[in-house]
Amino acid sequence: MTGRALRHLFALALQYTTISNPLAIWETFWPSMCDDIPHILATRRVPVPPRGEEIEGRIDLDYGLYLLQDILNEFGKSLLDYGLPEPLLSWVAQHPNSNNPMIEEELAYNPHQEEESCNIIRAQLDPEQKNCFIEILNMVEKYEQNPRGNHRSGFFLQGAAGTGKTFLYNCLCSYLRARGKIVLCLASSGIAAQLLPGGHTAHSRFKISLSNAFNSGCNITSNSPLAQLIRKTSLIIWDEVRMPHKSCFEAGNWTLNDIYHVSDRGLFGKIPTVLGGDFAQIFPVVRRGSQQATVQACLQHSSLWHSLQVLRLKTSMRIEANNSNQIFIDFLKSLVNDANMYGKINLPAYIRRVETVDHLYY
C-alpha cells in the first residue's frame, strides 16, 4: 500500500478499533506511512515552514503527522486524542486551502476593508442589535475554545421587516471575516441571499433535496470540498427561515451532525448558527395541505426548535414612531404577538386584518 493509503488505514483503525498503544505503532511504521511525502513535497512545491532547519531530517515525519491529523479531523478527532505527537511546524500556513477553492473563496476577503466596514456598521447598531451582536459573538468564542463542548450553538433572531436583521448580519460577517474566520451566509430565497455578503441559497450551499422527505439528509459526502469548508466554518447565518418546510432544517442538521460525528442531540454539528426571520411572514407552502398541515410544516414544530434560543429585534429602523405611523406600528407588533404562539395563528382572521391595513394605507 502507498503511504497515503496506510495513513488512511491507520486513521480508520484509530477511529473504529481499540488500539492499546497507537504511539508504538506510529513510531514503528511511520517510515512506511510517510514514504510518499518526499514526492508530495517535491511535486506540490510545498515550502517548508519557518524553523524547518531545527528538525532537519525529520521533515517527512512532521508533515506525515500533519496529514494524519487532517484525516482524523474528518472524524472530529485529533492526534492528542490518541496520545500521538502534534506536528512541530505550522504546515497549515504553507498550503491551507490550495486544493479547496471553496475555502479560498470564503477567505478571500480583505481584512482591513472588513474591519473598517464593521466599525462603521457597529457604531450605528441600536441597543437591541448590540445585545444580539454580543450574544452571538459569545457563542462563537465558546465554540472556538471548545468545539466539542456542551455550549449553546443556535439562536433564532426574530424581527419584523425593517428591524435591521440584515444590518446585524453584515456586522457579524465583517467582524469575523476581518479576523480570518469563515461565515456561511444562507437564505431561503435568491433575493434574500443577494442581500447577504457572500450569500447563497440554502438549497444550493447545503445540497438540500427539493422533496420534503423526512429522515433524508443533504447530498454532501464527508470527504468533499464542501464538507471541508463546513468543518472550518465559525458561524452559519440562515435568513428567511419562515418559508421552508421544517424537513429542510432537519436534513441540514442531520448532515452537519454526520460530518462532525456528533450525536443526534447536537444542533447543526455544534457549529454556531443563527436562524433569522419573521413569524408574521409567509408560511411554508404545502401542496394540497390543510391549514393544520401548513402550520405543522413550520420550523416552530420541528424537533430543533426547543434547542434554539430566541433573540428579538422590536425597533423598526424604517418607520418613525410618530402619531401618523403609530397605527401601523401597533399593527405590525400585533402580528408578531399572534405569530409567537408557535405558528398557531388563525389564518382567515390574519388575512382579513392584513387586507384592512392595506386598505387604510394603500
Final residue in a domain of this structure, among 41, 65, 95: 95
Chain mean position to CA 195 = 18
- Cα–Cα dist 259/23, whole Å: 26
Final residue in a domain of this structure, among 274, 289, 315: 315
Q: Considering the domain boundaries, does residue 199 fall inside one? A: yes
Query: How large is the C-alpha radius of gyration of the chain?
Result: 24
Cell of 9: 488505514
Tell me the per-residue pLDDT of 266-283, one tens digit each, with 9 for 90 and over. 788 889 999 998 877 778
Strand partners, 311: 157
Q: Considering the domain boundaries, does residue 353 fall inside one? A: no
pLDDT score at 283: 81
Q: Are residues 115 and 258 in the same domain?
A: yes
Using a 10 angstrom Cβ sphere, with 0-12 exposed, 13-18 middle and 19 or more buried, the burial of residue 8 is middle
Q: Considering the domain boundaries, does residue 328 fall inside one? A: no
pLDDT score at 81: 86
pLDDT score at 339: 53
Q: Considering the domain boundaries, does residue 321 fall inside one? A: no
**Length reported for the chain:** 362
Q: Are residues 282 and 251 in the same domain?
A: yes
Q: Is the pTM of this model over 0.95?
A: no
DSSP 8-state secondary structure symbol assigned to residue 16: H
Q: What residue numbers bound the domain in which 122 lies?
A: 104-315
Average pLDDT over residues 23-46: 83
Tell me the per-residue pLDDT of 325-361, one tens digit each, with 9 for 90 and over. 777 777 766 766 655 544 444 544 544 444 444 444 3
User: What's the structural domain count of the chain?
Assistant: 2
pLDDT score at 294: 86
DSSP 269-335: GG--EEEEE-TTSPPPP-TT--HHHHHHTSGGGSTTGGGPEEEEE---SSS--SHHHHHHHHHHHHH
Higher pLDDT, 320 or 188: 188
- Cβ count near 146 (within 10 Å): 10
Cell of 112: 482591513
> Quick check: 199 and 187 in contact, CB under 8 A?
yes
Tell me the per-residue pLDDT of 218-276, one tens digit each, with 9 for 90 and over. 888 877 888 888 988 999 999 998 888 898 999 999 898 888 877 766 788 889 999 99
- Cα–Cα dist 187/197, whole Å: 11
Tell me the per-residue pLDDT of 65-86, one tens digit each, with 9 for 90 and over. 888 887 887 676 788 888 898 8
Q: Are residues 151 and 194 in the same domain?
A: yes
Final residue in a domain of this structure, among 95, 117, 145: 95
Confidence of residue 309 (pLDDT cuts 50, 70, 90): very high
